[in-house]
Structure 1
Amino acid sequence: MRYISFLLIFLCFSTLLFSQNIDSLKQDLKRPLEDTSRVNTLIELAKAYKSKKSDTTVIFIKEAYNISFKSGYLLGQIHACFQYGTWYRTLQNMDSALFFFNKSIQIASSVYDTVEVCKSLTQIGNMYSDVGEVENSIRYHEKSLKLGIASRSYEKVGMNLYNLGNEYKKIGATKKALGYYQTARLVFETINDESKLASILNTIGILYVDWLSFDKAIETYNEAFKLYQKNNNFQGEADLKINMGLVYIKLGEYDKAIESYQEARTISQTIKNVNKEVYALIHLALVNTDLFNFKEADKYIAEINHLSDQVSQKDIVALSYQGIGYCKLYQNKCHEALDYLLKCMEISKELQLTERLNSSYIYISQAYMCVGDAKKASEYFRSYEQTRDNDNKRVNDARVKFETAQQDKEIKLLNKQQEINQKLIVAKEKETKQQRLIIYIFIAGLVLIVLFLIVVINQYRQKKKANVLLAEQKMYIEDQKKEIEDSINYAQRIQKAVLTLSDTQGTLLEKSFVLFHPKSIVSGDFYWATVVDHWTIVTVADCTGHGVPGAFMSMLGVSYLSEIVRKKEVIQASHVLQELRKYIIDALKQQGRIGEQKDGMDIALCAINNQTLECQFAGANNPLYLYKKSTQELKEIKGDKMPVAIYERMNEYTNHVFQLEKGDRIYMFSDGYPDQFGGPKGKKFMYKGFKEILLQTSHLPVNVQCNMLDANLTAWVDYIDKSTGHKFEQIDDITIMGIEI
């Protein structure tokens, strides 16, 4: 009793809330609203009335559509087009629905709203499913699935997996369907969406019934039932009880089946769902008929007839007529059975219920045979066979069409693989020819060795002496090599000590990272930072060359920057670069003569006011990337196209001044990362790819972003082409500095 009381209270409260919500939205429309607020309210009203299947829905959609396009409210345009599409889908107007869904996709794509694109793609897939175009349905659901994964919209991912399972089930690929259902189940478990998880389990249970795995079906239904109970989904509970009753019938456990149907009926009565109550009563009448409990069956038939005027779903009415007709036929009440079965047939034709119509034909055939009209019985049996064959042909055609498309894809893949194999064969033949040539050369050399063997023996002693001398020279070279390596390693320690941000702790650089990968032991790239008064000066530079020559240049750069900024207290970014250029030209004795070595450095330098967050930037060939947290955009501020060295153009460097905000990030870098070769095509990473990975990771903590950049670089460089075995090596020094304000 407490359970029933709770259901009644819940239903009354839900109905009251629904009515209050519509009234509240209508009151909002009476007040003066901004265009955006009015559009949003109209969309919510359209959704509310759509659930009531009211013609008023399209009035609200039309007004929202007109206002949003007049005011340029893009999100409103997306939602209005989407609602128009769903409305026309309910009217089975496919062309209009497709037009508005595609329009919603077009607008959503222009503002990179992948969630809304996902929704419309799913609806198009469902629409193709409605008309039996399985291949198109799968294509759109797969598109939506990829977008959902990319945008981490896991609820959309789960629903598209579920829809794909349904489509594969339609063409008889039930194992593949189960794979999609199980994956969808994992997704909904992960995001803790128990309502959709219960629906998935119910569908998996139905699949197990089709496979005659009744124990698994009952187990899965019970899991779903517990979730429906937990979330007070009473309609779901009623549906599951009927499904469980059908399984018990197949197992021959009629008492359990009747108990399940009775529970479904009780729940339906409590929530005042006449459609589901009649559905349960039909099954109770059928099972009692099968058990020859005709009196009990007639009692349920009387209750069905009593409630028939209150049934809102015509398909349930058709089912009730068929169920009663079956029961009457079983009791040998042939004329009564025929009346009900003919009514079922008419409704099934009207609603295009193919399966229901087909089963009606066979029962009508039996009813006419029962009343002694063999001619009519034969006509309806032929109708049954024709409908069955057409239905089977439709399913087979859909499956064949899909399998043909899959085979075409496989053939294309095989052809591509054959092309690759042919290239490998040509390469192998070339390699074999080269090896054969090497063998011929080796044989010729061996002959020469034999001819000169006597000479070699005579010179043996001299060679022995030479070998001793060579061994001594080798030891000397190895000692020299070790000394050089020790010197370079020591230089590396010196460079690491110089390249540090330790003296900037507690400043704007607290949230920063440096990704630093020299090509050799020491680097021609360097980074440097200092604080003068209330200014933080940071720079990343790429000197001519790498290894030891580059390292010398980097040490010159660090030394001169320290003198210019710390001693001379030059703060303005462009002035710092101009001073540094003078020092470099003087140190390298550059005069700009033809053929003179073009040594120097490309550099990006920032001066940030710690109090006002004003930022000055000057660049020599190198840009600065600015990530704005407020708009989630990555902007490029270009440097001047001249190095820090003598050059054909010796203009002053441009001093870019802009305002930073909390959460913004700035990035300075050398060209090593974008110019690195690797990946599946063996091409450069490029600045476009570099910008994309910075934009994708700028919302992460700086240390995590640094790790992501490092991991991406490693994967790019370490990629090995499986067909050629080619490996990539680092081609230049790599430095990236990122600072979060």
Structure 2
Amino acid sequence: MKRSFLLIILCIGVSNLFAFSNQNDTIIKYSSENEAIQKIKELIELSESYRSKDAEQAVNYGHIAIKISKEIENGELQYRSEFSTGFAYYVQNDFGNALLHLVNSLELSRLINNRQGEASSLNRIGNTYQLMGEYQRALHYYERAMAINRDLQDDQEIARTLTNLGSVYRLHGNYELAINQHLEALGIYEGLQNNEGIAWSALNIARLFKMMKNYDKSIDYVNQSLSIYQKIEEEQVLSTGVTLCYKELGNIYYEMGNTESAIEYSEKVLNRNQKTENQLGVANSLSTLGKINFDAGNYSEAEDFLTKAMELKNSLHDNTEMASIYRYLGKLYLNEGKVAKASKYLNNSLDFALNQNLKEEIKETYLDLSKLYEQTNNNLSALDYFKKYTALKDSLNNQKINELELQYEFDKEQRIREYEELQKDIEQEAKLQKEKILKWSFAGGFVFMIILAYVIFKNYQRKKKTNVLLTKQKNEIAEQRDEIGAQRDFVTKQRDQIASQNTIITDSIEYARRIQSALFPQDKFLRKVLGEYFIYMKPKNIVSGDFYWVAEKGNKIIITVSDCTGHGVPGAFMSMLGIAFLNEIVNKSSKVQANKILDQLRENIMDSLHQEYGTRGSKDGMDMALCIIDKKSLEMQYAGAYNSVLILRNGEIHELKADKMPIGIHAIKMEKGFSNQEFKLENQDMLYLFSDGYLDQFGGENGVKFKQKAFKELLLKISEQPMNEQKEEIEERMKNWQGEYSQLDDMMVMGIRV
């Protein structure tokens, strides 16, 4: 490497690191490589610091850093310079250049074997494709980043990548899968005691529950996020996190139609933006308050907020939401009969919407203009705009259909990917078991060889003794030969024992199955208590993690079907624990209530497994559907942990849905207990309780899950048949569906005729 480096640097901006010239390159010589390295590091830091406030300047610093790092051939600094420059282009929404430099950083990270850098580049490339709307590509890069992060056991980056995956699934409309990613991230952040990560994950989960219209759950998660951000704010200046939580609460209450609370939280957001002098935030808050007040019929307040929002956005040269603000003002004046003003603002709205290609705004403005012209008896114009409205509405509906088709393909590919991963895991497990058996076999042979070598060596030493000891030596050799035979027999026996261990273990598990079966309610008791019933039970292994339990308490019948964590022996242990606790809880209770039984069972499970929030201990537990039927009135109570129940009556299905939390520790501490639902049964109703194993089984021509829709269709078809025929139909349908696919989980379906 040369002692002196001739560096040609284009310099723009305020830095005094280099001489500035708009027209000419500045030539700088560095006396040593170390001096050049220091300058590159300073440039990268400048690029990173300018990224959020002046992305263009950040790009310039990044390019200079790239140029110098190439001159001195420093791979690590080349990687960092390319990554920083790509990130700056990403912030500018210049996705083409962003990908160019981020891909360069990815290739460099591999050349220098910087795996953490490789994962960072993959994640940022995924971010870029996500903003470009290429979600499948984004998912591909996130999954590659995840594989590296899991290999490095980097929990912080695993959680960050899970958050990225969650955002892609959300954009695809796969909310449940998105929630699972954020819940896993939440659990990791809890283990790391990373409060900001916990708060951000909880807020993401809240947004997803809002999209699913589960407003109670959404509010719970926002409040958990808010409490953490408020604690952080006590140590810092105003936290952006608190503002985001207030904004989310305002949006939730707005969707719920709770105008008073929506206004309350939106005003809090406005006040905080004013305190931090966030003018753009102030304008957006004013716009939100204007729309909420308009929908509530508070036209005077709405006009005030919307006018202020319009004026502030104009002064900031910010056109976002302008189409919406003008449209709401136009609607407001139309409602007040101020037709001229309404026409002005609605046409302004249409201009902004067309310029920005905001199709939803264009559609709504067409409808409002149609109403305006109808009000002024200009029927031709009213009809013209209404035709435009319906045409665009149809176009958007077709677009949504296309998006749903793409979503289906996306989900299908995801399911195939998950299935392939599962198959790999199964094959790997089988390989490990085979290696274990071979290892023991080789170990037996190795022990035998060592013993044999030792004996031969000792015999060799004995042969060197004097002829006087020859007779004695011959006798000893004879004895040693006997010993060798005995040792050989011992080693062979050990090897045979290892080879037969699978049989022994299988016999032990078979015995455990008999013990588990003995704990289940027997047929004689079930026929006496339930009357007509069937139980379809198909364990994945010999013993099952699914169990059923029935008891009588006074004039009430208690019925439950449960799915414990895991399957096989671990699941069976959990099932026995569940049965023991259920017996104890019901026997001790003077009055039984479905949700109270689940609450107490969860407490018992957490105590017995030493589960505590904020730790990374056991996450074992169980999902359950529990029903209590009054034999006289046929009033039924129901409480569920993830598992719902289905009641079929006169060809119609009634579903009682479960709470989305397990019996055991949950990723988020649940302050509320399980809910109690009531349902009036009638004679000849069919009641079905089931675990998720049947619904989640892969099969069919496309290798997809059976799912609840097909399950409901099957029950509708068979519900009028005798119990034994229903069981046979359920068994036969699953056999045909599963085909050559491996069984994934224990399966259980219980049917009862009232």
TM-score of the superposition, structure 1-length normalised? 0.51
1:89 alignment counterpart: 90
In the TM superposition, residue 279 of structure 1 has moved relative to its aligned partner by 1.8
Q: Which residue of 2 aligns with 1:204?
A: 205
* Structural mapping, 1:334-733, within 5 Å: 334-371=339-376, 372=378, 373-406=381-414, 519=443, 545-550=449-454, 553=457
Equivalent residue number for residue 67 of structure 2? 66
Q: Cα 1:292–1:123, aligned 2, differ >3 Å: closer, same or farther?
A: same
Matched residue SS, 2:61: helix
Give a deviation string over 1:232-280, Cα, whole Å, max 9, x none: 3533322322221222233343222221111111101000112221222
In the superposition, relative to structure 1, how do residues 114 and 381 fare at CA in structure 2: closer, same or farther (>3 Å)?
same
The verdict on how the C-alpha distance between 1:231 and 1:368 changes in structure 2, with shifts beyond 3 A counting, is farther
CA distance in 1, matches of 2:459, 2:308: 96
Q: Secondary structure at the match of 1:215?
A: helix
**Do structure 1's residue 149 and structure 2's residue 157 form an aligned pair?**
no
**Contact 1:58–1:84 (8 Å) recurs in 2:** yes
Give me the identity figure in percent.
20
8 Å contact from structure 1 (residues 158, 185) kept in 2: yes
Question: Per-residue deviation at 1:58?
Answer: 2.0
Structure 1 counterpart of 2:312, from 299, 307, 310: 307
Equivalent pair of 1:238/1:276 in contact (CA under 8 Å): no
Asked whether the 8 Å contact 1:326–1:363 carries over to 2, the reply is yes
User: Equivalent residue of 1:139, what SS?
Assistant: helix
1:222-301 aligned within 5 A: 222-232=223-233, 234-301=239-306
Aligned equivalent of 1:176:
177
Most deviating of 300-309 and 254-263: 300-309
Displacement of 1:362: 4.1
Cα offsets for 1:55-109 (capped at 9, x unmatched): 2222211110011111111111111221232344345554443332222111111
Q: For residues 457 and 369 of structure 2, what CA distance do their matches in structure 1 show?
A: 97
Shift in CA distance, 553/43, structure 1 to aligned 2, threshold 3 Å: farther
Cα offsets for 1:642-697 (capped at 9, x unmatched): xxxxxxxxxxxxxxxxxxxxxxxxxxxxxxxxxxx9xxxxxxxxxxxxxxxxxxxx
Between 140-149 and 128-137, the greater mean CA deviation after superposition: 128-137
In structure 2, relative to structure 1, the CA distance for the partners of 1:379 and 1:25 (3 Å cut) is: same
Post-superposition CA distance 1:364-400 (Å, at most 9, x none): 4444444543134224313531452254144224213
Deviation at 1:415, TM superposition (A): 11
Letter in 1 for 2:180: G
1:320 aligns with 2:224: no
Residue in structure 2 matched with residue 163 of structure 1 by the alignment: 164
Q: Retained in 2: the 8 A contact 1:361–1:383?
A: no
Q: Which SS does the other structure have where 2:277 is aligned?
A: coil
C-alpha contact 2:370 2:383 (8 A) present in aligned 1:
no
1:329–1:367: 8 Å Cα contact kept in structure 2? Answer: yes
The 3 A distance-change label for structure 1 pair 27 and 226 is farther
The match for 2:709 is none
Unmatched runs of 5 consecutive residues or more in structure 2: 1-11, 20-27, 428-440, 466-498, 500-740, 742-754
Unpaired runs of 5+ residues, structure 1, are 1-22, 420-516, 525-544, 557-582, 588-676, 678-722, 724-741
> Which residue of structure 1 aligns with residue 619 of structure 2?
none
Q: Is the 8 A contact 2:371 2:382 kept in 1?
A: no
CA RMSD of superposed structures (Å):
4.1
Contact 2:374–2:382 under 8 Å retained in 1: yes
Q: Is the 8 A contact 2:243 2:269 kept in 1?
A: yes
CA distance in 2, matches of 1:227, 1:56: 35
Q: Is this contact kept in 1: 2:102–2:125, CA < 8 A?
A: yes
- AA of the residue aligned to 1:300: F
2-structure distance, mates of 1:352, 1:148 = 40
Distance 1:546 1:217, change over 3 A: same
Query: Distance between the aligned counterparts of 1:259 and 1:155, measured in 2?
Result: 36
- AA aligned to 1:51 is S
Letter in 2 for 1:382: T
Say which is worse superposed, 27-36 or 185-194, in terms of deviation. Answer: 27-36
The answer on whether the counterparts of 1:238 and 1:267 sit within 8 Å (CA) in structure 2 is yes
Q: Which residue of 2 aligns with 1:100?
A: 101
Which digits, 9 at most, give the CA deviation of each residue in 1:279-308, with x for residues without a partner?
221222222223322222222233223423
- Rounded to whole Å, the distance in 2 between the matches of 1:193 and 1:213 is 27
